Amino acid sequence: MYNFIEHVNGSEPEAVEDEAKYAQFMERIENGEKIEADDWMPEEYRQTLIKLISMHGISEIMGALPEKEWVPKAPTLYRKLGIMAKVQDEMGHGQLLLRVAEDLMAPYGRSREDLMMDLLSGDLKFHNVFHMETRTWADAGVIGWLVDGAAIISQTNMLDASYGPYQRALQRICAEEVFHAQHGEAIVMALAEGTPEQKAMLQEAVDRWWPSLLMFFGPGSAETTGSSKQEVTTKYKIRKSSNEELRQAFLDKYLPRVFSLGLTIPDDTLRYDEEKEQWEYEQPDWNEFKQIIKNNGPRSAERLRLRELAYENNRWVRRALSNEPVVQA
Amino acid sequence: MTSIDTVEALLENNEALQAAKTFLFQLADDDYITSFRGSEWLGLAPHIEEDVAFSSITQNTMGHAVLVYQTLEALGEAEADKLAHARPAGERLSSVYLEKPNGPGTYLDEPHYDWALAVIRLYLYETWKKIRLQTAARGSIRPVAAAAEKILMEQPYHLAHWKMWAVQLLDSTPEAKERLEERIAEAWREAGDMISFGGHGQTFLENGVTADSEEALQLRWLEEVRSVLPAPAELPLKEAGDGRRKEHGSDLDQALKTCSEVFTSDREAVW
Amino acid sequence: MTEENRNGSSFYQVYEVFSKKSASASFQLQFSLLAPNEEMAMMMAQENFMRREKVVDIWVVRRDHIRGMNPEEREMWTNRLDNKEYRTTKGYGYLRRKWREKEQDMLDEKEILSWKEVKKG
């Protein structure tokens, strides 16, 4: 899901590694074979996967937090149950993905604990959208429909990923995303067909989320922010398409639906170029994007604080059970 | 005692109807507030795996509240969503002990939540819930018994979950044991209204809402709890308030304000 | 040495065998076998249970090391009420009609999984 991959330290291409092994590895990848956790893999592949999947996983965990703000407030019993199940799934997706990342990190003696520490220290980044604030119930709808929609576009693109454990996790995740998409659609549909206040609330949320949605896919090219590593993920057949291709796919799928609900997009230059067969749009502020993912977004500090508190306040629990667990008779 | 087999028959027997409704409101309001407190925990549990497991229990508990509110709806009360969202604190029968916040702070701001409170409170509550449902299932009012039987189907793993946490933590470090024991002592100071029928015990029994006396059920609860926790041998427990008599503190006001914030912003709108 | 070990009885340890048919498949329990240790269990596993089928990976796990449910737990812990439409797509079937009114399609499983392939830019 997270397409903005920063430069990975210590993973210069295979100067010292066994060239024969590398050639054989690349042949497996080319043949569409799946790589497993204990297979030989080039350092660059492992590092790229760790970076990608730990970001993806921790973004799911952090992504639970903005929506969670609306869980207790959901306006009907059915919505309360639906959004609880949906946010639970996000935590569940985080669990699947972090397990995949943790197994990849195991050779370095690193674990879940290190990932949490990296998150809190700012070394492990999470997705730009989850640094943003939520203001109204319509945010729960827009997150479920459009933010998740963007995530679905990115994730389905990796359903054939060369790394077996990641690909299998994504299969499970994408199957659940169908429910998420409809959960989001249902909230949005009720607001779009509701009172003038409900419609206004929905439009305001769409306007506010628009730049974040464009940013979601990462910059179109490395020049924009100076450090996109998207070509590495395509070289190793982890994903198929570029950031811009994914953004275009998102606009293709969702804009007609947005317009069909009578909603507008806050960009006067937005239009579909029939000749190029792609959407023209105003670029979001990529400098702001860089600031956001450096944990300088509107709600970065508060969201991290929640994870920090969960970590700190439960230290005694981890300490209590970290030895041989007691098995109940 | 003759049994009351249908909703229609219950609607014609006012004394039994009032007893049944009081019992059901106590149950549904307890589950509703318990589920609310559980939903505040989402994302803050000791680890991710527990977050996922805890959330299913929280959802099921909300599902139980829905089922019971719907039963009340069939008995002539307002629709379930209104029962959950539109009743003021002064009409609620939930236990004040269950309304107590998860810890200092709010779920949005500086939640210093205490896992020892979660484990002890939910273990004590689920034990009481099982006993209360079992007696209703053996009672002679079929619509109440049917709801109780349904909930009893999936409730055992909730109880097993919290029992596991309590047993493991009590048998771990002195630090953990001390934290749990403090919460047990607190429950004996505050949880009195949770295991109470609020003066309706005799009416419940006489009308067949329950099959056992309140005292017998409380003793059963004490015995079961003491087989797991190092808890005091004596009853009654003291209470922090009497929710069964609609006497609540500000904790419930805060909870309801949050639960109903969007609902009350436009009660006629479809959400 | 106990009487039992003199007879070599502890040679017979129960191992459960799991296997995977393809890289994208999940592990599936196949059957169990007896072996004195995991190395030998692994050696026995494929020919005992997967002689005629493709296998890409195998796990053997000593049965003692599996914490399964006991009969009472199976009875008590596995029931769920049939009231969870809210967590499935079943609860949102009505959206199909609503989107049709707006000349759009609902996002169902078929549509979403078709997004695997994206137009080249």
Q: How confident is the model at residue C64 (pLDDT cuts 50, 70, 90)?
A: very high
Give the C-alpha separation, B160 to A163, whole Å: 37
SS3 C15: strand
CB of B201 closer than 8 Å to CB of B131: no
CB of A3 closer than 8 Å to CB of A230: yes
CATH number, domain of C15, equals: 3.10.20.520
**Residue of A79, A91, A328 with shortest CB distance to B271:** A79
Indicate the number of domains in chain C. 1
Give the pLDDT score at A2: 45
Name the residue type at position C73: E
* Average pLDDT, rounded, for chain A: 91
A neighbours by CB contacts (3+ pairs under 8 Å): B, C
Give the C-alpha separation, A177 to A152, whole Å: 7
The pLDDT tens digits of the residues spanning C65-81 come to 999 998 889 888 999 99
- As a whole number of angstroms, the longest Cα–Cα distance in chain C is 81
Give the pLDDT score at A16: 58
Give the C-alpha separation, B94 to B80, whole Å: 16
- Hey, of C73, C96, C115, which one would you mutate to test binding to chain A, going by the most A CBs within 10 A of its CB? C115
Contact B153 C77 (CB under 8 A): no
Nearest chain A Cα distance for residue B176, angstroms: 6
Give the C-alpha separation, A245 to B222, whole Å: 64
Contact with chain B for residue A87, Cβ under 8 A: yes
Give the pLDDT score at C48: 86
CB of A58 closer than 8 Å to CB of A98: yes
The pLDDT tens digits of the residues spanning C30-48 come to 999 888 889 889 988 988 8
Name the residue type at position A197: E
Task: Outline where chain C has alpha helix (H).
Answer: 3-6, 38-49, 71-77, 95-101, 109-113
Contact B67 C77 (CB under 8 A): no
Domain boundaries, chain B: 7-265
Helix H or strand E segment including A49 = helix A43-68
C neighbours by CB contacts (3+ pairs under 8 Å): A, B
Q: Report how far apart, in Å, the C-alpha atoms of B4 and of each of B9, B200, B209, C74 are.
A: 6, 19, 10, 33
Task: Tell whether the model's pLDDT for residue C91 goes beyond 60.
Answer: yes
Give the C-alpha separation, A254 to A204, whole Å: 17
Q: Can you say how many angstroms the Cα of residue A138 is from the centroid of all Cα atoms in its chain?
A: 20
Q: Is the dihedral of CA B80, B81, B87, B93 positive or negative?
A: positive
Give the pLDDT score at C53: 87
Please check whether residue C101 lies inside any domain of the structure. no
CB of B100 closer than 8 Å to CB of B161: no
DSSP letter for C57, please. Answer: E
- Two structure tokens written together for A99: 């397990």
Task: Tell whether the model's pLDDT for residue A224 goes beyond 60.
Answer: no
Contacts of A79 in chain B (CB under 8 A): 271
CB of B182 closer than 8 Å to CB of B116: yes
Contact A156 C102 (CB under 8 A): no
Which residues 67-126 of chain B have a CB within 8 Å of chain C? 67
Contacts of A70 in chain B (CB under 8 A): 262
Q: Can you say how many angstroms the Cα of residue A279 is from the centroid of all Cα atoms in its chain?
A: 23
Nearest chain A Cα distance for residue B42, angstroms: 7
Contact with chain C for residue B60, Cβ under 8 A: yes
Domain boundaries, chain A: 19-310
* Residues in Cβ contact with A242 at an 8 Å cutoff, skipping those fewer than 6 apart: A220, A230, A234, C121
Share of chain A above pLDDT 70, in %: 90
Give the pLDDT score at A127: 96
Nearest chain B Cα distance for residue A248, angstroms: 31
CATH class of A19-310: mainly alpha
* R_g over Cα of chain B: 18
Q: Can you say how many angstroms the Cα of residue C49 is from the centroid of all Cα atoms in its chain?
A: 17
**Residue of C23, C84, C92 with shortest CB distance to A186:** C92
Task: Tell whether the model's pLDDT for residue A10 goes beyond 90.
Answer: no
Which range marks the domain in which residue C16 is found?
9-65
Q: What is the mean pLDDT of each run of 10 residues along chain B (271 residues)?
A: 92 98 98 98 94 95 98 98 97 98 96 98 98 98 98 95 95 96 98 97 98 98 97 92 96 97 94 96
Contact with chain C for residue B249, Cβ under 8 A: no
Nearest CA in chain C to B161: C77
Residues A289-315 have a mean pLDDT of 96
Q: Can you say how many angstroms the Cα of residue A91 is from the centroid of all Cα atoms in its chain?
A: 12
The pLDDT tens digits of the residues spanning A313-322 come to 999 999 898 8
Please check whether residue C16 lies inside any domain of the structure. yes
Q: Which residues pair with C13 in a beta bridge?
A: C35
Q: Report how far apart, in Å, the C-alpha atoms of A283 and of each of A212, A324, B263 are.
A: 11, 54, 37
Contact with chain A for residue C64, Cβ under 8 A: no
Question: Regarding the domain delimited by B7-265, which CATH topology (the fold level of the hierarchy) does it fall under?
Answer: Ferritin (1.20.1260)
Please check whether residue C91 lies inside any domain of the structure. no
Please check whether residue C40 lies inside any domain of the structure. yes
- Two structure tokens written together for A167: 């690909």
Q: Can you say how many angstroms the Cα of residue A213 is from the centroid of all Cα atoms in its chain?
A: 12
- Two structure tokens written together for B52: 């996922």
CB of A183 closer than 8 Å to CB of C43: no
The residue written with tokens 């629709």 in the block is B79
Q: Report how far apart, in Å, the C-alpha atoms of A4 and of each of A150, B194, C42 are.
A: 14, 52, 42
Q: Which residues pair with A163 in a beta bridge?
A: A35
Give the pLDDT score at B79: 97
Task: Tell whether the model's pLDDT for residue A6 goes beyond 50.
Answer: no
The pLDDT tens digits of the residues spanning C81-90 come to 999 999 998 8
